[in-house]
Amino acid sequence: MTRKSDLFEKIRVKPARKARAGNNPEADAPLCQHPGCDKPGPHRAPKGRGREGEFFNFCLDHVREYNKSYNYFTGMAADDVIAYQRESALGLRPTWKLGHNGARHRDRGRPSPRFSVDDPFDVFEGTAPGARPAERRTVLAAHRHAFETLDLEETAERAEIRAQFKALVKRHHPDVNGGDRSGEHRLREIIQAYNTLKSAGFC
C-alpha cells in the first residue's frame, strides 16, 4: 500500500489539534474577558470564593494583572480566615473523636447497614445488627478470690453479686446472731470482697 492510496488516508492517525495548529494554544482559544481586550484568552483564572470550578479566560498580560490582585479571602473576617485555614488542613471535613459517640455522629441520618458476620469471638461486637454483647471482663487473681469469698462463679452478673452479698451479710452479722461475734471475721471478708468487685466494675 502506498501513501497515495485512499486506504492510507482512512486509517492513518491524524495529529492532535494542537499539533495541527502548530502548538499554538491561542489558535482555538476564546477571546480575553478583560474589558476592551480583543486578544485570544488561552489562560484561565479562578473566579473566586463561592464560584469554585469557574474560570475567566485572559490573555497573558491580563492574567498576570489579575493574579497580582487575586485574593481568595477577600471580604472574609480575620477569624473566618483562620478557621478556614484550620479546617482546610483536614480537607474541610467534619471530624469527631474515635469511639461510639463518634460513630453515632458519623452515621447520623444514614440507614443502618444490613450484614451478618460469623463472629464466634465477638471481635466485631456491636457492628452488626443483633450482634450479642461481648463479655468484656478482665478477672484478676484478687477478683477470683473475691468471687470465691462470696461463693459465686466468675460469670456472676451484677444483680446476682448484690443479692448474694446482702444474703451473706444478713447471715453473718452479729445483730442477726444474737450478738455472737464469731462470724465477724467472715463478715469483714465478705465486705472486702464485695468492695473489690465493686471497685472493679463487676457490681
Residue-wise pLDDT for 33-55, tens only, equals: 999 998 998 999 998 887 888 99
Residue 56 has a pLDDT of 92
C-alpha cell at 144: 477470683
Q: What is the residue type of 95?
A: T
Domain boundaries, the chain: 15-96, 141-199
- Say if residue 128's pLDDT is above 50: no
- Say if residue 19's pLDDT is above 60: no
Per DSSP (E only), the strands in the chain are: 43-46, 55-58
- Say if residue 117's pLDDT is above 80: no
Nearest to 202 by CA among 161, 168, 166: 161
Residue 77 has a pLDDT of 85
Residue 124 has a pLDDT of 59
**146, 197 Cβ separation under 8 angstroms:** yes
For the segment 65-97, what is each residue's pLDDT rounded down to a tens digit?
999 888 877 888 888 888 877 777 766 666 666
- Say if residue 141's pLDDT is above 50: yes
**57, 41 Cβ separation under 8 angstroms:** yes
**59, 37 Cβ separation under 8 angstroms:** yes
Q: What is the percent of the chain where pLDDT is above 90?
A: 24
CATH fold label, 141-199: Helix Hairpins (1.10.287)
Query: What is the DSSP code (8-state) at residue 31?
Result: B
d(CA 123, CA 134): 8
| Average model confidence (pLDDT) across the chain | 76
Q: What is the percent of the chain where pLDDT is above 70?
A: 63
Say which residue, 8 or 172, is predicted with more confidence: 172
Q: Is 188 helix (H, G, I), strand (E, B) or coil?
A: helix
